């Protein structure tokens, strides 16, 4: 997932995606404990995707605040 793809989405879609990514990361952590996780790069990719979602959400918050301030 790219940040540019996220910027084209609605806020609630990004929030839902963020929740799904966090849930998937949690499930992978549980699988890791039972040694059922063969893909060792997946948790890192999930963490980066979570960070991208949070960054885009924060950008949206700052833009909304700037828009309200200018009115």
Identify the structural domains of the chain with CATH numbers, from first to last.
Answer: 3-70 (1.10.287)
pLDDT tens, position by position, 11-34: 999 999 999 999 999 998 888 777
pLDDT of residue 37: 62
Contact in structure between 43 and 71 (CB atoms under 8 Å): no
pLDDT of residue 12: 94
pLDDT of residue 19: 97
CA 46 → CA 8, 35, 65, 70, distances in Å?
A: 20, 18, 29, 36
pTM of the predicted protein model: 0.85
Pick from 8-17, 38-47, 51-60: least confident: 38-47
Give every CB contact of residue 47 below 8 A, 6+ residues apart in sequence.
25
**How confident is residue 44, by pLDDT bands cut at 50, 70 and 90?**
very high
């Amino acid at each position: 997932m790219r940040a540019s793809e996220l910027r084209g989405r609605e806020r609630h879609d990004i929030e839902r995606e963020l929740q799904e990514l966090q849930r998937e990361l949690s499930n992978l952590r549980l699988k890791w404990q039972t040694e059922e996780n063969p893909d060792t790069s997946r948790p890192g990719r999930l963490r980066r995707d979570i960070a991208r979602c949070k960054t885009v959400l924060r950008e949206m918050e700052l833009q909304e605040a700037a828009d309200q301030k200018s009115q």
